[in-house]
Amino acid sequence: MRAFRRSPTVVTLALVLAVFACQQVAASVGWRGLFALSNPLLARPWTLVTSVYAHASVSHLVANALALALGGFLVERLTTGARFHAFFVGVGALAGVTQVALVGIVGPLVPGMPAQVSVLGASGAVLGLYGYLLGANRLTEMLVAGIELPPRFQLAAGVLLAAVITLLTANPGAALVAHFTGLLVGFLAGRTHLLTPGERRRDRKPAVK
């Protein structure tokens, strides 16, 4: 039971629930947008973190919580708790910033497209976990090892893969740019085994004869 309580996935799920409860209290006093990330990004810097754990509805929370549980327990076996939390927040924040910034740049130039959006939800961070699993698993390593590709082509392949998965899993109202960003960053991190502690990463390197 103690090990279960120390699980970074369980801790993250608890944080998601706690933030959602705080959202309900804030909404009751008229502070509904307190946790969402939007432009200008530095006006409310705390939303870089709170937006990763906040959710728009119960169904939104449940869907992301289930996905987090499925992927999180697998990723946490490969890393430490500190690395897991830093990766989750970092990827989630980057995904949200990319969504908000891109809409802010492109929106005013495209008729009918909003010039500003508010982003919240753990989906970018969760997809980062799945991207990591995809990039770090042995099957992917075997496939990549059998094909000699320059780094730029490997990056292009990762972009294409993230784009295809994003489109296949798209649904109305989803932050597609954030989803794509989370998947791509997670995949690239998985290819470099970013979350693997240093000593374990050295053990993965083949011996030179």
Rounded CA gap, 122 and 125, in Å?
5
In a domain, 119, yes or no: yes
Nearest to 176 by CA among 163, 189, 185: 163
**Distance (Å, whole) CA 88 – CA 182:** 10
Distance linking the first and last C-alpha atoms of the chain: 45
Confidence of residue 207 (pLDDT cuts 50, 70, 90): very low
- Domain harbouring 188, CATH code: 1.20.1540.10
In a domain, 208, yes or no: no
Name beta bridge partners: 37: 119
Calpha distance 8→200 (Å, rounded) = 19
pLDDT at 198 over 80: no
Q: What is the pLDDT of residues 78-130, one digit of tens each?
A: 999 999 999 999 999 999 999 999 988 887 777 777 778 899 999 999 999 99
Per-residue pLDDT tens for 146-167?
Answer: 555 566 776 777 788 788 887 8
The answer to whether residue 160 is domain-embedded is yes
Q: At what angle do helices 176-191 and 151-168 cross, to 10 degrees?
A: 140
Rounded to whole angstroms, the Cα distance separating 190 from 128 reads: 9
Conformational region of residue 49, where left means phi above 0, alpha means psi within -120 to 50, and beta covers everything else: alpha
Q: What is residue 165's predicted lDDT score, i.e. its pLDDT? A: 80
Banded pLDDT at 144 (limits 50, 70, 90): low
pTM for the model stands at 0.85
Predicted confidence at residue 128, as pLDDT, reads 96
Q: Is residue 47 part of a domain?
A: yes
Indicate whether 206 belongs to any domain: no
Query: Span 14-35, mean pLDDT?
Result: 94
180: domain range?
2-198
The verdict on residue 204 lying in a domain is no
Long-range contact set of residues 111-119: C-beta below 8 Å, sequence gap at least 24: 116/38, 116/39, 117/38, 117/175, 118/33, 118/36, 118/37, 118/38, 119/36, 119/37, 119/38, 119/51, 119/175, 119/178
Give the mean model confidence (pLDDT) for residues 64-89. Answer: 96
Q: Is the distance from CB of 185 to CB of 89 less than 8 angstroms?
A: no
The confidence score (pLDDT) of residue 71 equals 95
pLDDT in tens, 131-141: 999 888 876 66
Domain count of the chain? 1
Cα 16 to Cα 11: distance, rounded to the nearest angstrom: 9
Q: What is the mean pLDDT of residues 53-71?
A: 96
Query: Is 209 within a domain?
Result: no
